[in-house]
């Protein structure tokens, strides 16, 4: 099997570009993302020294500096959502499958309930009712994302709990947490990583959609979705205000999807994961 | 089969109750007094008291939930603050626009994606296969609203070929009968209006379809490849059947089950996507209504739309389940046991 294939290389390139921008972007642009300069509003992109390489928006803010801020927000939210939903989903699924019985029924009813909502709608409702904040965005995006992990972990736990080595561990006095930690969770790692990669892609897309609708992170912080929403009005006269932030989202999500595909091919070619 | 349908339909009752409990819980978790949220900010003391009574806010939580469920079942979501009208009649007015856009998009996406998926699978590893894979993964990765904005930039801004917002030109004399513009234009026998309605529909529908095409193409491709490895395909080849007969009589029908599943799952994405596409193209459907309701914190209207969208989604999933009975004789046989 070829490890270094095109999906891996292009995926890493895309992600490297965005992570590099989030970490080192401020060295490339001397401008502050929130500094307004109405005299230089809607200036086109230029490669002049100290110019605005991605142009300026309708308030004269540097588009590149705002892109850097957007990259940080997207990656931060994506990482938080994946960690939160992944840990919760794997724990809930593994316990539900391992325990069985009434507790399993309760967890499965929860899964069924949250799965019954159309994807972005539940997040929209949560933010509309509970109000906008970074924490609420992360919560709203995690509320459905734990389910794929939960399903896989439960299925695995159901199979493994009847295996002799688990019975042997129990006979020797191992508690639930030991069995989960030593015997069930290690078997889930490769599948979980694949789910997490795709899930981060959809989380970043969803965050951008929410910000585009004005419901994501508070508007005082520059985000890709928010920039697109503001730039939309000027798109016919100043294409750069809407094209660059969209490109940022596209490159990030494309990178994650390609890496997810590569990981899936590498770990388990037959696995068909059902993801939103 | 009618019995199966009834059992399936009865099975959604607990889901509907749990889903409404989640929405009820969110409403109660919201900061501030519930009664103040359910009336407009400039409401009088008396109106607040009426809302309190209407939603049973002085009663214990279980009784409040019961009242909430009963009101939902009667499609009584209260009055919108912004429009001072009954919430459900507002939603009903906007629903045809959303359904029209969604239906045209899914048909467009399937018509394009299915042939490409089958072709890519039949010529696996070829130029077309690689091209389809690249386009598919790019389609999934591009945000819908960005695609929409780019299409507007090119087709409305630069080429001035298609309108960028709305459903019909201002002052159009189309008489609404069903609320579906395409059907109404046909009923009136007005081909000029049909053409206009299609022009307005094209950009939003293509934007929404592009997003779904990627996934449908990929799944069709892998489903056809999976089926091609089955023994009955080898038998068909050994019998000397023609290539087209093998593809259309043996491969495609058997690949339809996974494809139906994914098209069904995509309907969830279609609903979320349509909210955003409606906002981008100022399409006067439920999505823009939700957007407006949320931006002015119109809680009754927001709740009503969330409930209606969710129930439509649950209903679609049931229909997909029932569709398996028609497509796949094996499912029919298994359920009859």
Q: B86-136: per-residue pLDDT in tens?
A: 999 999 999 999 999 999 999 999 898 888 988 888 888 888 888 888 888
Least confident of A87-101, B279-293, B314-328: B314-328
Interface test with B, best of A117, A198, A230, A250 (most B CBs within 10 A): A117
- In terms of phi and psi (left: phi > 0; alpha: psi -120 to 50; beta: otherwise), the region of A60 is left
Per-residue pLDDT tens, chain A, 276 aa: give them: 444 588 899 999 999 999 999 998 878 777 888 888 888 878 888 877 677 888 888 888 889 999 999 999 999 999 999 999 999 999 999 999 999 889 999 999 899 899 889 888 999 999 988 888 999 999 999 999 999 999 999 998 888 888 888 888 888 988 888 888 888 888 888 889 999 999 999 999 999 999 999 888 888 889 999 999 988 888 888 889 989 999 999 999 999 999 998 898 887 645 444 433
* Inside any domain, residue A222: yes
CB pairs under 8 A between A and B: 136
Q: What's chain B's average pLDDT?
A: 85
Q: Kindly identify which residue of chain A lies nearest to residue B145, measuring between CA atoms.
A: A209
* Inside any domain, residue A249: yes
Q: What is the pLDDT of residues B18-61, one digit of tens each?
A: 888 999 888 888 877 777 777 777 777 887 887 777 777 778 88
Contact B294 A213 (CB under 8 A): yes
* Inside any domain, residue A2: no
* Inside any domain, residue A128: yes
3-state DSSP call for residue A42?
Answer: coil
Residue B329 pLDDT more than 90?
no
Least confident of A225-234, B195-204, B261-270: B261-270
Q: Kindly identify which residue of chain A lies nearest to residue B135, measuring between CA atoms.
A: A254
B-chain CB neighbours of A254 within 8 Å are: 137-138, 141
Distance separating alpha carbons of residues A13 and A7, to the nearest angstrom: 10
Task: Give pLDDT, residue A276.
Answer: 36
User: Residue A177 sits in which domain range?
Assistant: 58-267
Distance separating alpha carbons of residues B97 and B278, to the nearest angstrom: 10
Instruction: Work out the pLDDT band at B292, boundaries 50, 70, 90.
Output: very high
* Inside any domain, residue A194: yes
A-chain CB neighbours of B276 within 8 Å are: 120, 209, 212-213
Residue B223 pLDDT more than 90?
no
Which residues 230-269 of chain A have a CB within 8 Å of chain B? 232, 235-236, 239, 242-243, 246, 249-250, 253-254, 257-258, 261
Task: Give pLDDT, residue A71.
Answer: 95
Q: Tell me the ipTM for this assembly.
A: 0.86
CATH number at residue A164: 1.10.3720.10
Main-chain dihedrals φ then ψ at residue A56, nearest 5 degrees: -125, 160
Residue B79 bridge partners (DSSP): B86
Task: Give pLDDT, residue B336.
Answer: 63
How many domains is chain A partitioned into structurally?
Answer: 1
* Inside any domain, residue A183: yes
Q: Which of A137-146, B121-130, B205-214, B226-235 has the highest mean pLDDT?
A: A137-146
CB A7 within 8 A of CB A258: yes
Angstrom distances, CA of residue B15 to CA of A110, A184, B21, B269: 10, 30, 10, 20
* Inside any domain, residue A91: yes
* Inside any domain, residue A231: yes
Q: Kindly identify which residue of chain A lies nearest to residue B156, measuring between CA atoms.
A: A236
């Amino acid at each position: 099997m070829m490890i270094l294939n095109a999906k891996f290389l292009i995926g890493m390139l895309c992600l490297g570009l965005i992570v590099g921008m989030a970490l080192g972007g401020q060295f490339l642009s001397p401008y502050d993302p929130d500094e307004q300069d109405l005299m230089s509003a809607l200036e086109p992109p230029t490669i002049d020294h100290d110019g605005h390489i991605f142009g300026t928006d309708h308030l004269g803010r540097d588009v590149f500096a705002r892109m850097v801020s957007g990259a940080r927000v997207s990656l931060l939210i994506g990482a938080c959502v994946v960690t939160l939903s992944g840990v919760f989903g794997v724990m809930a699924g593994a316990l539900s499958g391992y325990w069985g019985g009434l507790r399993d029924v309760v967890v499965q009813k929860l899964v069924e309930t949250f799965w019954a909502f159309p994807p972005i709608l539940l997040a929209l409702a949560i933010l509309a009712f509970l109000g906008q904040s970074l924490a609420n965005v992360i919560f709203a995006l995690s509320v459905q994302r734990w389910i794929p992990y939960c399903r896989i972990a439960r299925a695995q736990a159901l199979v493994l709990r009847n295996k002799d080595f688990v019975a042997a561990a129990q006979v020797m006095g191992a508690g639930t947490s030991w069995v989960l930690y030593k015997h069930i969770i290690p078997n889930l790692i490769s599948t979980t990583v694949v789910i997490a990669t795709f899930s981060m892609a959809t989380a970043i897309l969803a965050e951008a959609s929410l910000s585009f609708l004005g419901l994501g992170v508070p508007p005082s912080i520059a985000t890709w979705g928010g920039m697109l929403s503001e730039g939309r009005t000027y798109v016919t006269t100043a294409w750069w205000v809407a094209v660059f932030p969209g490109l940022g989202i596209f490159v990030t999500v494309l990178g994650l999807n390609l890496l997810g595909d590569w990981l899936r091919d590498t770990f388990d070619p037959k696995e068909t994961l059902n993801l939103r | 089969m009618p019995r199966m349908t009834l059992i399936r339909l009865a099975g959604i009752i607990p889901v509907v109750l749990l889903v409404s409990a989640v929405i009820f819980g969110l409403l109660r978790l919201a900061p501030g007094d519930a009664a103040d949220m359910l009336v407009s900010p400039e409401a009088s003391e008396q109106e607040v008291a009426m809302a309190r009574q209407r939603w049973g806010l002085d009663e214990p939580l279980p009784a409040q939930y019961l009242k909430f469920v009963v009101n939902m079942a009667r499609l009584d979501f209260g009055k919108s603050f912004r429009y001072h009208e009954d919430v459900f009649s507002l939603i009903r007015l906007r629903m045809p626009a959303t359904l029209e856009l969604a239906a045209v998009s899914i048909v467009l996406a399937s018509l394009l994606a299915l042939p490409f998926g089958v072709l890519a699978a039949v010529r696996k590893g070829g130029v077309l296969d690689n091209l389809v894979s690249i386009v598919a993964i790019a389609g999934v990765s591009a945000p819908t609203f960005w695609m929409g904005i780019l299409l507007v930039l090119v087709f409305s801004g630069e080429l001035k070929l298609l309108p960028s917002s709305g459903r019909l030109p201002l002052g159009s004399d189309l008489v609404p009968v069903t609320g579906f513009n395409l059907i109404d234009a046909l009923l009136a026998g007005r081909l000029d209006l049909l053409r206009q309605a299609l022009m307005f529909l094209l950009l939003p529908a293509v934007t929404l379809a592009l997003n779904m095409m990627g996934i449908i193409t990929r799944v069709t491709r892998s489903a056809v490849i999976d089926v091609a490895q089955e023994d009955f395909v080898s038998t068909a080849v050994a019998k000397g059947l023609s290539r087209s007969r093998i593809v259309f009589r043996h491969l495609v029908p058997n690949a339809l089950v996974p494809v139906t599943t994914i098209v069904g799952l995509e309907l969830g994405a279609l609903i979320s996507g349509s909210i955003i596409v409606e906002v981008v193209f100022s399409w006067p459907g439920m999505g823009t209504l939700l957007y407006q309701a949320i931006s002015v914190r119109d809680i009754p209207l927001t709740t009503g739309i969330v409930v209606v969208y969710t129930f439509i989604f649950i209903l679609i999933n049931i229909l997909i389940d029932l569709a398996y009975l028609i497509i796949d004789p094996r499912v029919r046989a298994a359920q009859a046991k």
